[in-house]
């Protein structure tokens, strides 16, 4: 009798662990209700109007919202450890980068309509660099990295918010720069890169400051490596 009971106990434990594992990785068809989201927002005490709920993929949602009549913000939700987590939430202006578990990258925004953004530009920029390496500690090697830029332009549309996928080649290039080389005897080729953004009005002129978006102040909370605000192209660079 003891052996059957032992087998039953082991089977029960394995079943419980299996059910827990499946639950942790199972993504429900239904996303959170507005009431559920409100309790998880940063600055949860502030009244906000949810403008939209946009499904990016099965595990990621983009939710733009508005504070009162003047402040605009957005949040990103990801399915983690069996529940929906708010991994990026704030009213910082300009473009934000979203990196998903599927290896895709997006930029998203929500800005005041009076800033009249007609078009956005995202820039992936590799800085010029010069280094000297000595893999074996004896022979020195010199390597020069030229400055390179990749650009993507897209219309802002007729809403205050939006989300656009970045070219797959950008993600591949970023991964290559971070992972290469694998052999310690090879000359490192890693070069620093950044993502930046620029906004343009209907006349194609650069919008130096998103004044109405910034008027109410800005801030946010961003956890993990999923979402983060990007820097604007400097005024000096935009005039070159």
Contact criterion met (CB below 8 Å) for 135 and 186: yes
Distance from C-alpha of 121 to C-alpha of 156, rounded to nearest angstrom? 10
Among 89, 109, 100, residue whose Cα is nearest residue 37 = 89
Contact criterion met (CB below 8 Å) for 210 and 194: no
Could you report the per-residue pLDDT of 26-49, keeping only the tens digit for each? 667 789 999 889 888 866 566 889
Among 79, 73, 77, 82, residue whose Cα is nearest residue 47 = 73
- What does DSSP assign to residue 239? H
List Cβ neighbours of 35 (8 Å cut-off, separation of 6 or more): none
Phi then psi for 6, rounded to 5 degrees? -65, -45
Q: What is the pLDDT of residue 180?
A: 44
DSSP 127-186: PPEEEEE-TTSSS-EEEEE--EEEEEEEE--SSSEEEEEPPHHHHHHHHHHHH---STTS
181 confidence band (pLDDT: 50, 70, 90):
very low
Distance from C-alpha of 32 to C-alpha of 34, rounded to nearest angstrom? 7
Among 116, 76, 104, residue whose Cα is nearest residue 168 = 104
- Residue 58, classed as helix, strand or coil, is coil
Work out the average pLDDT over 188-215: 84
Element at 36 (helix H, strand E):
helix 34-40
Q: What is the pLDDT of residue 219?
A: 75
Q: Could you check whether the bond before residue 181 is cis, i.e. omega within 30 degrees of 0?
A: yes
The terminus-to-terminus CA distance of the chain in angstroms comes to: 84
Could you report the per-residue pLDDT of 55-102, keeping only the tens digit for each? 999 999 999 999 877 789 999 999 998 889 999 998 888 999 999 988
């Amino acid at each position: 009798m003891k052996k059957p009971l032992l087998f039953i106990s082991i089977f029960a434990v394995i079943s419980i662990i299996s059910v827990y594992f499946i639950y942790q990785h199972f993504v429900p068809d239904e996303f959170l209700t507005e009431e559920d989201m409100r309790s998880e927002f940063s600055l949860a005490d502030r009244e906000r109007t949810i403008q939209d709920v946009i499904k990016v993929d099965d595990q990621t949602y983009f939710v733009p919202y508005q504070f009162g009549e003047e402040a605009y913000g957005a949040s990103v939700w990801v399915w983690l450890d069996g529940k929906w987590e708010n991994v990026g939430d704030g009213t910082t202006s300009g473009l934000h980068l979203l990196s998903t578990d599927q290896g895709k990258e997006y930029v998203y925004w929500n800005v005041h309509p009076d800033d009249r953004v007609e078009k956005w530009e995202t820039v992936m920029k590799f800085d010029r660099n010069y280094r000297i390496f000595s893999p074996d500690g004896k022979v020195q090697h010199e390597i020069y990295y030229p400055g390179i830029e990749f650009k993507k332009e897209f219309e802002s549309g007729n809403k205050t918010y939006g989300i656009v996928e970045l070219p797959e080649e950008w993600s591949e290039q970023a991964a290559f720069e971070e992972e290469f080389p694998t052999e310690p005897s090879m000359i490192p080729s890693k070069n620093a890169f950044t993502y930046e953004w620029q906004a343009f009005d209907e006349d194609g002129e650069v919008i130096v400051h998103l004044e109405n978006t910034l008027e109410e102040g800005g801030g946010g909370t961003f956890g993990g490596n999923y979402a983060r605000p990007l820097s604007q192209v400097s005024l000096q660079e935009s005039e070159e």
